[in-house]
Structure 1
Amino acid sequence: MKTTIKLASLIVAFGVAAGAATASAAPPNDLEHLVKNEKFPGAVLVTQSTSYTAGVARRGQPGKPPVNGRVRAASNTKTFVAVVILQLVAEGKIALDAPVETYLPGLVRGDGIDGRKITVRQLLQHTTGLPNYTAYIGLEDFEAFRNRYYEPRQLLELALAHPANFQPGERWEYSNTNYILAGMVIERVTGRPVAEQVTKRVIDKIGLRDTYWPGVGDKTIRGQHPQGYGLAKDGSVIDVTSLDPSAGWAAGQLISTPRDLSTFFAALLDGRLLPAAQLSEMQKTVPSDMFPGSGYGLGLARIPLSCGGVYWGHGGDIPGFETRGGATEDGRRVSIVVTALPGTFDPANADRAHAGVVSTVDKAFCKGDK
């Protein structure tokens, strides 16, 4: 999705806002700049060796954001889910190029939509053409949305009520619907909840102590965390920390910390979560507009660095929080959190604020953490 000056277009719930500018075009990109000039209430940057904070944890109070507080990880969830799918591929329980129909018979049907023509790989790579259900869940009225509980099947039905955007394999287009189906595939194949599978196969396996999948009806963020801010229907800024995350499910329900997220991406690249063959499949990319010059693999983005080379990560956008970062194959790790979506406090400069976040990650990778 392209960022624009309208905040509503920035909110692809549990998704990502595409990069609209290169790192070199961004303004000065330290955390104080993000707070003072781009109007984020709080910002946290974590590298492999150091953590930094700026701004406040709660508007109107003096305390800084916690160095490693929990936040809504939004679409970083997709990478965790993709890892579980690829583990099941390694176990011979799922075939990447098998049609979705194999695992969810008769479920994926609609105008120009046929699960017999969509593969598991295409789900993970966002090349299905499936409509994005988050366009139809009423985010413009956040105060009503925040208390709404969704079953995964309801989210799928929202998407299938609309025609396909294109035929499978024709191009790349981000759609949260793909990962609702990926979660359903996991549950059908394992006979267990996707939350349990992500916890057992990823979170517990690499010891992510501050990452968890909220239970049904849990609208809180447990433990130490900054507050997140967003817009009410009347345009006023409100605290949006509390919300029912069920509309994200396998596309964006996880809660994590900047350090856990950077640890996760480093562990993934180190081969601690997948055999080499499946990690190689995950890193086969197609061109995407998720970041400037980026490619998208199987739930994993390849992002070029201004100093040369690339890092691998994902990112997430949800009312209250934007996260960016990842890891390089030589062991560098960077994760950033800001406590509002770009443009919340300054809608006319949403693109610039988003570019500042992306540029801060680039600077941390390229120039170190000074």
Structure 2
Amino acid sequence: MKRVHRVLMAVTTAVAVLAAPTAALAVSGEPDRAGLQSGLDEITAESAVGALMEVRDVDGVWRGTSGVSELGTTRAVPAHGRFRMGSITKTFLATVTLQLVAKGRLHLDDKVGTWLPGVVPNGHRITVRQLLDHTSGVPDYRRTLPMPPTPEFLDNRLRTWSAAELIQRAVANPPTVEPPDSGYAYSNTGYLLLGKIIEKATGRPYGKEIERRIIRPLRLRGTSVPGTFPRLRGPHPHGYVPVQRASGRHLVDFTVMNPSLFGAGGEMTSTTSDLNRFMAALLDGRLVPGHLLDEMKTPGVKDGTYGLGLRWQDTACGVRVYGNDGDALAYQAWSFTTEDRRRQVTIALTPDFRGDPDDAVDALLDKAFCD
């Protein structure tokens, strides 16, 4: 799920006080590189319980953390901690999809209705490409579900959602783009459909294909496709969501939850190191052939910044970086690399919803890529 925090802001002053960070921790052996540590500290001072970051470049690796791992404690955020990556999962899923395209197992212009007959009302008009670049018009299922700060959201914390159930909820609504390919409308449902298509094409669940084709070959030991497993394995910061009570809005620990809520579009967990390694391998052409990597970098709409499961942005110094960002409600993450792979940056945080961290994160990315 992406950018959900825009509608989850403005928690109470009491929560803001609770979430105030402890002293930051720089975990590299060198001094604060180009103000990166102070940038992390600004984020936790304004909008997060905790944050962690890794930068890889020709000078080596810099890691930093800020804030606390869990409210009510002084425990530092683990520098190698695991977190829910949200929509960065889409880049993994898109990579597997394009690997299958490279092998001729499916095609970008295949119709959804051919692979999944009757699942989407206008599936005969929607292509695999349009699912990947969010021009399909398939409605987003998350708009049909209770979301924070409504208390009902917590009732589904451990519920298992099937992809079929979430897709059905979504397609009961009218298309968001009509006809397909005439505009951009972000859709988590589109990636649930891609997960089902991968299963049809390979005979195996999409999670197994991600493990077999990406996680194991790249030795991403801190990365997993959890399915319905509700806990984060290994060291990790706690994540929170705001919930409205009679006494006001309060942060509720949402670390333990059933990730089937996010499914093929957002369920994965990882570390900053693993995501940097993945993005570098992808941009290096080690995961998909060059012509398909070019397709990933091609926007679905004119002047867009989203291609086939890959996003990009231009930094303040004019350097274009590729990757993705993700919002898993209680966790947010950004992972980008330069096209020449000379620098990778991944940032993850546990928001406290006092404010929107996007501008501060963009400023920190500028520091990391430009200074």
* SS of structure 2 residue aligned to 1:95: coil
In structure 2, what is the equivalent of residue 361 of structure 1? 365
Whether the 8 Å contact between 1:29 and 1:356 is mirrored in structure 2 is: no
With normalisation by structure 2, the TM-score equals: 0.85
Which of 23, 44, 47 is residue 52 of structure 2 equivalent to?
44
In structure 2, what is the equivalent of residue 24 of structure 1? none
**How far 1:294 sits from its partner (Å)?**
5.7
Count of aligned pairs: 332
The verdict on how the C-alpha distance between 1:8 and 1:162 changes in structure 2, with shifts beyond 3 A counting, is farther
CA distance in 2, matches of 1:279, 1:207: 21
The verdict on how the C-alpha distance between 1:8 and 1:248 changes in structure 2, with shifts beyond 3 A counting, is farther
Residue type of the partner of 1:150? W
Which of 305, 325, 329 is residue 335 of structure 2 equivalent to?
325
* SS of structure 1 residue aligned to 2:362: helix
CA distance in 2, matches of 1:252, 1:119: 21
C-alpha RMSD of matched pairs (Å): 1.9
CA distance in 2, matches of 1:5, 1:199: 32
In structure 1, what is the equivalent of residue 27 of structure 2? none
Whether the 8 Å contact between 1:70 and 1:225 is mirrored in structure 2 is: yes
Whether the 8 Å contact between 2:130 and 2:136 is mirrored in structure 1 is: yes
Cα displacement string for residues 73-110 of structure 1 (whole angstroms, at most 9, x for unaligned residues): 1111000000011000000011101211221122211x
**1:142 and 2:153 aligned:** yes
The verdict on how the C-alpha distance between 1:302 and 1:339 changes in structure 2, with shifts beyond 3 A counting, is same
Which of 84, 87, 110 is residue 72 of structure 1 equivalent to?
84
**1:221 and 2:235 aligned:** no
Which of 258, 269, 284 is residue 270 of structure 1 equivalent to?
284
Whether the 8 Å contact between 2:276 and 2:336 is mirrored in structure 1 is: yes
Which of 269, 274, 279 is residue 293 of structure 2 equivalent to?
279
**How far 1:325 sits from its partner (Å)?**
2.3
CA distance in 2, matches of 1:193, 1:78: 15
CA distance in 2, matches of 1:325, 1:362: 13
Whether the 8 Å contact between 2:331 and 2:348 is mirrored in structure 1 is: yes
**How far 1:8 sits from its partner (Å)?**
7.0
Residue type of the partner of 1:174? Y
In structure 1, what is the equivalent of residue 349 of structure 2? 338
* SS of structure 1 residue aligned to 2:125: coil
Cα displacement string for residues 190-235 of structure 1 (whole angstroms, at most 9, x for unaligned residues): 111111001101111211110001143x110001101111112322
CA distance in 1, matches of 2:321, 2:41: 24
CA distance in 2, matches of 1:251, 1:286: 18
In structure 2, what is the equivalent of residue 302 of structure 1? 312
* SS of structure 2 residue aligned to 1:102: helix
**1:115 and 2:116 aligned:** no
Residue type of the partner of 1:194? Y
Q: Which runs of 5+ in 1 are unaligned?
A: 10-27
CA distance in 1, matches of 2:5, 2:161: 28
In structure 1, what is the equivalent of residue 214 of structure 2? 202
The verdict on how the C-alpha distance between 1:153 and 1:311 changes in structure 2, with shifts beyond 3 A counting, is same
Cα displacement string for residues 344-365 of structure 1 (whole angstroms, at most 9, x for unaligned residues): 442xx33xx2211222122211
Whether the 8 Å contact between 1:285 and 1:296 is mirrored in structure 2 is: yes
Whether the 8 Å contact between 1:56 and 1:62 is mirrored in structure 2 is: yes
CA distance in 1, matches of 2:6, 2:94: 32
Which of 54, 61, 71 is residue 59 of structure 1 equivalent to?
71
**How far 1:287 sits from its partner (Å)?**
4.8
Whether the 8 Å contact between 2:319 and 2:369 is mirrored in structure 1 is: no
* SS of structure 1 residue aligned to 2:124: coil
Whether the 8 Å contact between 2:98 and 2:292 is mirrored in structure 1 is: yes
CA distance in 1, matches of 2:227, 2:194: 19
Q: Write out aligned runs for 1:175-214 (5 A).
A: 175-214=187-226
Residue type of the partner of 2:53? L
Residue type of the partner of 2:39? D
Q: Which of the two has higher C-alpha Rg?
A: 2
* SS of structure 1 residue aligned to 2:204: coil
Which of 9, 31, 41 is residue 40 of structure 2 equivalent to?
31
Residue type of the partner of 1:206? L
**1:171 and 2:183 aligned:** yes
With normalisation by structure 1, the TM-score equals: 0.86
CA distance in 2, matches of 1:129, 1:8: 28
Which of 137, 158, 161 is residue 172 of structure 2 equivalent to?
161
The verdict on how the C-alpha distance between 1:65 and 1:297 changes in structure 2, with shifts beyond 3 A counting, is same
Which of 262, 265, 270 is residue 248 of structure 1 equivalent to?
262
Q: Which runs of 5+ in 2 are unaligned?
A: 11-36
